[in-house]
Structure 1
């Protein structure tokens, strides 16, 4: 990643690495913490709550929920996570706002956009994200920080570039509309370069970090 940043004259100071720790055990996460990783992304509620509880005495750990959100799980997310990256409908936003404890800061949230319009992938359509952003912006217990996307990785380079360009345009548009927006969560182990070139400043890495 550092090579990509250097070759393309990008700034690494603003890039946050999220360690995607789905199916990783506590000892692996502790090792990650020991080398300076502070932010962790979890997909499954039951698995993540065990980890959060066991690691509650570690200071400055930030937990991101990056999985599919079920309505019945919103209360747990609201009470235990610092970020929720996968809001894609009004109902989820309203429930997270309702269940966020008053003694906690507003939960940081991202709107997940289904930029590739894949039927089997979560995320709101590019036609509807603006209405969701308007709603989140007025909910007092949510802090709208930006967008998250998982583009389909296509064989054709041009098709890929079109997708990432669309995401960048949407992000820049929202930044002009809402002062709180500063985060584009785009990129995994499979598309780091494309994401950084689209000015992603939050990368979710699991495979290349843990499966070496």
Structure 2
């Protein structure tokens, strides 16, 4: 029976990693991550964002608190089918595109609604945001006699000058950071180099050698 069984062989990749300097794994991971991240940012379609604003104004039969409350309500219905169905005519895109591309946000302190649209075309992003704000003000005007609150356009959405998505440089930096972190984690799990086992201090004589030594006594 073998008292010293042969240890299992490590995978070739781990054996090679054990022979590399520590800094090389981090550097290689950062370089690979930068290449992947930069390449993704270069080939990805840019995204443009445009935002339009409308404000709720109380009439003579209402008050600012009511205007603030209706602004919250109109912000919730801005992306509903009743509004988007009218907005698609002015935007020139289907309702499904508006539903996926338009978001509305309100403020708890001001009776203002921000309508934001995203698209791969800067002009279409502005058109969709303006179409939704226009449809929303039309719907508010239809029920103004009951709500006593009027929605007015505060600022039109303008065509963005540049994309809102991250550039290739930013995605490259993110990839380099992630790759460097992965390389650092690999340092923690890579196997250490084996040191040669020291020889035994004394060897046990075999049976024949022990008998011969006993006969000489």
* TM superposition score category, shorter chain reference: under 0.3
Greater per-residue helix proportion: 2
Q: TM (normalized to structure 1)?
A: 0.23
Q: TM (normalized to structure 2)?
A: 0.22
Greater per-residue strand proportion: 1
